[in-house]
Amino acid sequence: MKSRIPTILIGLVVPVSAIVVLFPFWNRVEPFVLGFSFNYFWMFLWLFLSSGCLFIAYKLDPLNDEEDW
Amino acid sequence: MALFVFATIILASLGLVFLARKGAINDSMDDIMKASGSFGPFLLFFVSVGEIYTIGTLLGAPGAVYSKGANYGVWFFCYILLAYVVGYFLNPAVWRMGQLAKAITVADIIGWRYNSKALQVVVALIGIIFFIPLIQFQITGMGIVFFYLNLGFDFTYAAIFGAVLAFSFIALAGIRSSAYVAVLKDVLLILAVGLIGGAAAMNMPGGVEGIFRTVAQKMPQLLTVTMEPLTAGTTFTISTILFQMLGFYVSPTNLQASMSSSSAKNLRRNSIIMPMYMIMFPFLFIAAYYALVAITGLEKPDYALLAVAVKLLPNWVVGLVAGGAALTAILFMAVAALSISGLFSKNILALIKPDMKEAGLVWGARAMMALSLTAGVLLALFSPNLVANLLALGYFGFTQPVVAILFGFFWKGATKWGVLAGLVVGVAAIFLIDTVPYALNKGAVALIINLVVTVVVSLLTKQDNEVVQRFEAYRTAKLKIQSGKKEASTTA
C-alpha cells in the first residue's frame, strides 16, 4: 500500500501551518495587496490555496485509488 | 416591494420542500435523519454548506468586526477554513465508522465504538442541551432582521411563523428538505452579501483599499490581532482556531450532513470545494469595515451588515437580504431540531422503551422536533437572556465528544470509563472554570482536561474485549477496502 504521508503533508500540515504557525508573520497591516491589508489578503488567499492543497491531496490520496464506496 | 420579494422567497422554499419529498420514506428513521445515505456530490455539497452558515455568521461576523475588529474577525474566518481541511480527513473516517455501527447519530457511533449505552445517553444529552440554545439564537437573529428592516411583522408572529416553517420542512422531507432549500438559500445569501460588500466598496473613495486604508489610519487597533501583550488577543485567537477547527465537524448538525453521503470518496471530493464557498467572507468583511468607518454609533453591533444594506441598496435588495437571512435561520433551526430529535429518539427513547417499533421512534422524533422548536420560540420570546450564557458555552460543550471520536480511530486502549469520565469532567469544567489562564479559549482548556482524564482513567480501568474487537473491526475494514475487497460495505 502506498504511503498516505504526502497526502497528510499537503492536505493538512501545509494549510494549518500557513495559518497558525505563520500567524506572527502575516498578522500585519503593510503591505497592502489588492486593496486589503496584508492580514486579510493572506487569509483570503488561503481560501483558494487551501482548496488547491486539498485538490492535490485528493489526487495523491491512496485511499481514493483503492476504495470505491 | 421588499415584502413582496421576501414573500416570494419563502413560498419558493416551500415549493422546493415538495420537490424534496420525491424518494423520501416518511416512516424510516434512517431516511429522515440521513436520507438513507443516498446523497451524491451535488446534494451533499448543499446539505453540508446549508448547515454551516447560520444567522450567527451573517449578522454575528460583521457585528464582531464592528465592535471588536480583527480580534474577533480573524479566528472566525480561520477556524472555518481549517475545519474544512480537517474535515477532509475526519469526515470519511467518521462516515466509515458510522457504516460499521449502522449509525444514525453521533451518539450511535460513540456508543457502538465503546460498547456503552451510558456513553450513548451522555453524548445524546450533551448534543441536546447545548443545541437548543442555538435554535433560540436563530429566532432572535431573525427578530433582529425583521425589526431592523422594518418588514412590518410583529416579532411574536415572526418567531412562530419561522418555527412552523422549520417544522414543516423536516416533517415533510427530513434532511432532504435541508439540501433542497439550501440551494435557494445559498444562492440568495451569496448574492445578497456580494451586493452589500460590492456597494460598500463602490461608495467609498478608493474602493476596498480606501476602506482598509481609512481603518488603518483611524483605528489601526481594529485591523490586526493585538500582539502586545500576547494575552490581549493572540493566545485567544490561536487557541480558538485550533479548538474549533477540531470541533467543527463533531457538531450534531454537521455530522448529520456527513452521514447522508453515499460514499467516503464523495466526502473527500466535497472537502475540496468547501473552502471556496467562503467566498462570501471577503464581502462580509468589506461591509463590516465599511460600517466601521462610514456608519458610526449603531445601537447594536449586529446591525452592521443590515445598516450597510439599508443605507446603500434599493428596497428590493433589502427584501432579498431579509429573505436570505430568514431562510438561513429557518433552515438551520430545522436541521438543529432534526439532529436533536434523532439523538432523543434513537439514543434515549429507544433505550427507555426497548420494545418500541420504528414507527414509534419516528413519532417520538417528530414530537421532539416540535418540542425543541417550541422551546426555542418560548425562550426567544420570554427570556432571551436566560440562555445567552448557555449559548456562549454551546460550542465548548458539543465539541467535547471529539476526544472520544479521535481515540475511536487511533487508540485501542481507550475504555468506555475513560471516555465517559473525560466527557463528564470536560463538560463540568466548562461550567466550573471561571478565569482561563493566558486568556486561552475556555473550550480548548476543557478539551485538554477531557483528554488527560480520558487517558488516565483508560489506563486505570480494564478494557472490554468487545471494544478491542470493534477497534480492530474498524482498522481491518479499512484494510479490506484498501486491498480492493468490498465486504465491509454490506453493512450499509
- Residues A11, B263: C-beta atoms closer than 8 Å: no
Helices (H) and strands (E) in chain A, counts: 5, 0
Is B223 near chain A, with CB under 8 Å? Answer: yes
Mean pLDDT on A14-42: 94
Is B227 near chain A, with CB under 8 Å? Answer: yes
Q: Which pLDDT belongs to residue B385?
A: 63
Q: Determine the residue among A21, A45, A47 to mutate to test chain B binding: the one whose Cβ has the most chain B Cβ atoms within 10 Å.
A: A47
Write down the H helix ranges in B248-357: 252-259, 264-273, 280-294, 304-312, 315-344, 350-352
Torsion of CA B197, B290, A48, B327, to 10 degrees: -50
Is B410 near chain A, with CB under 8 Å? Answer: no
Given a contact cutoff of 8 angstroms between Cβ atoms, the answer to whether B196 and B305 are in contact is yes
Q: Which pLDDT belongs to residue B488?
A: 42
DSSP 8-state code for residue B60: I
The three three-digit cell numbers of residue B252, written as one number: 450534531
The amino acid occupying position B39 is F
Q: Does the interface ipTM go beyond 0.90?
A: yes
pTM of the model: 0.90
What is the mean pLDDT, run by run of 10 residues, along chain B of 492 residues? 83 87 78 82 79 81 89 90 95 91 91 94 91 85 81 81 90 85 88 92 90 91 88 89 90 85 89 90 94 88 89 87 88 89 90 85 89 89 65 81 94 93 94 87 93 96 91 78 43 36
Q: Which pLDDT belongs to residue B108?
A: 92
Q: Which pLDDT belongs to residue A69?
A: 45
Q: Which pLDDT belongs to residue B315?
A: 85
Query: Chain A partners of B245 at a C-beta cutoff of 8 Å?
Result: 16
- Residues B272, A16: C-beta atoms closer than 8 Å: no
d(CA B164, CA B310): 28
Given a contact cutoff of 8 angstroms between Cβ atoms, the answer to whether B188 and B9 are in contact is yes
Is B91 near chain A, with CB under 8 Å? Answer: no
Torsion of CA B470, B473, B475, B479, to 10 degrees: 180
| Cell 472554570 sits on residue | B433
The amino acid occupying position B487 is E
Is A17 near chain B, with CB under 8 Å? Answer: no
Give, to the nearest 10 degrees, the angle between helix B70-101 and helix B234-247. 20
- Residues B265, A11: C-beta atoms closer than 8 Å: no
Q: Which pLDDT belongs to residue B258?
A: 87
Q: Which pLDDT belongs to residue B384?
A: 64
- Residues A51, B70: C-beta atoms closer than 8 Å: no
Q: Which pLDDT belongs to residue B422?
A: 96
- Residues A54, B234: C-beta atoms closer than 8 Å: no
d(CA B82, CA B61): 17
